[in-house]
Structure formats: structure tokens, C-alpha cells
Structure 1
Amino acid sequence: MQTETFLKVVVILVMLILMLTLSSTAFITFDRAYNQNIMRYHVIAGVLVMTILPVHIYLRREKLKKLLKEFFSIVTTGGAKQPCTNHAHLKTFKQRSLRELCEGLNICIDSAGEFLDRKGIVIYNLEHTLEKIANDNKNDPLKIFALISENQIRIQKDDHV
């Protein structure tokens, strides 16, 4: 996963550099007289863009599929359909305070706080949003939500045994 992320960043940076090279060599050619060396750089940059483009498309294939599905949905039905509402619900949890989240889901806030503390997540205030708690701990709010849910499931499983 880290390798793929690193590769994505490198590919995007290379593409940006190549696009800058293409645009600057084109500008130089149009602004001044034709120069064979400048055109050579321009052609090399163009070939490199066409070489790295398939790699970029492969790395971004999931986003591209989603984009195409949304595009065809807009064209055929006039609006984009959300394939999954769960992600939208999870996003709303980020904006809720830890107390509000635990009360809404019938989770014992004390056991959730203890569990998060054991996992190295410090909670300064129960009224802070999940997003604020995540930022304070350099973590992802959805990961913290998943940890809280995991703890609740474990507690329920222990109660049934």
C-alpha cells in the first residue's frame, strides 16, 4: 500500500514536470524562432508523457471506473446516483462529538475511552468531534470510529458468552 502511494506521487510529479516542459518548450518555439534543440526536448517530453500515461491510468483505475459510472449516470438519468450511502453516514460521524456518538449508538463512553486510551488515542475532551480527536492524535477519524465499533462488538460478544 505504501509503495503504491509512493508510486502515485512520483508519477504525478513526473507528469507535472513533463507538462511544464511541454508548455515551456511550446511557448519558446512560438515566441522565438524555431530551434532544433528545443523541439527535441519537446518531442522527448511528449513521448515520456505518452509512456507514463498508461501507468497513471493503471494506478488510478478505481477512480476512473467510478468517474465513468457517475458520468454515464448523469448522461442517462440526469443525476449521479450514490452507490453506497454508508460512506456518507460515516462522514457525518466525523462531525459529531465523542459523547454524542457514543450516546447515539448506545456505547458506554467510559469503556470506549479506556479502549481508545489503550490503543494510544488520547481524548482531551468528550465534547470534541471525532475529527478533532483524530487530528490531535495524528490519526484518521474513521479508524477511530472503527476502533470504537470493534470494542463495542467485542463487549457484546463477551456478554453473550
Structure 2
Amino acid sequence: MKKFTAILISTFFLASTAMAAPKKGVSVSVELSPAGSFEITGKVKGSVKKTGAGYEAKKLSFAVKKLKTGMDLRDKHTKEKLEYKKHSDVVVTDAKGSGGKGSAMISVRGVSKKISFNFKESGKYIVAKFKLNLKDFGFSGINYMGVGVKDSVEVSAVVPVK
């Protein structure tokens, strides 16, 4: 009976942890060539507003100098490639969506481009996902010691709804 109770409590704890609210912020999945990957993470400034059947955000931003990759040297190289001294933020403007699909303008290194994204509601948050082609923003030949970054990255952003 004690073993059953311990298993039941453990199962409840794991289930409640899995259902916790998503963590606000941005995560960029970067694939490497010939193999490997890493993740860029950071905080998002701004929020999404509910508008009838949809959502909108006038401006969301991500401070480049505060990004983290899990490795100090890679942080430094990533910030330099993003030209953080000249372009301190990645900025998303005019984001609008309904029915799980949306569009916005994104500015990276001073280059603006319209993007499409998918999203879902998760409690008091919107979780948006989209891909970016790095060449669209003037990136090319990103490599270090024979390991290069692939041309496409996958972005996931968790933004609060206000």
C-alpha cells in the first residue's frame, strides 16, 4: 500500500509539473552543420492583447545583449553576428492573429521582413512558432572551427496576454 501511495503521489507531482504555465520568453533553435544544435534564449518585452476573436501586439522586443546560448564564447559570437552594438533589439511589430495563424513584421539587424506564424493559447499566454531564413537578414557563412549554422532557424515565443 505504501508503494502504491508513493507511486500515486509521484504521478500526480509529475502531471502537475507538466501542466505548469509556459515560461515567458523566446527560444531560437539553431541547427549546425555537419551535426549538432543549440538554443538561444531570452526574455520578451511586451504583451499580446485579446481583440474579439483574435489577438494583436503593437510591439514585442528581445534584447540581443541579454541572449543566452549556454556557452559564453557562443554568446559573444552570436551577439556580434547580430550586431548588438548597432541593433540592440530584435523587434516584432504589428502582430495580428486569429484561428491559430497570424502575421507580423520582424526586424533583425536593421532588416525588416513580414513573417507568418502559428500560435496557440496556453492559459494566460500565447505560444507562437515560426521559421526564419537567415539569408533574408543578411547572414551567410556563419561558422567556427569547421562547424556552420544552417540557413533556417526555428523560433518559439511565449508572450503574456493582457
TM exceeding 0.5 = no
- Could you say which structure has the higher helix fraction? 1
Q: Using CA pairs below 8 Å that are at least 6 residues apart, which structure has the higher relative contact order?
A: 2
- Could you say which structure has the higher strand fraction? 2
Larger radius of gyration: 1
TM-score, normalised relative to structure 2:
0.24
TM-score, normalised relative to structure 1:
0.24
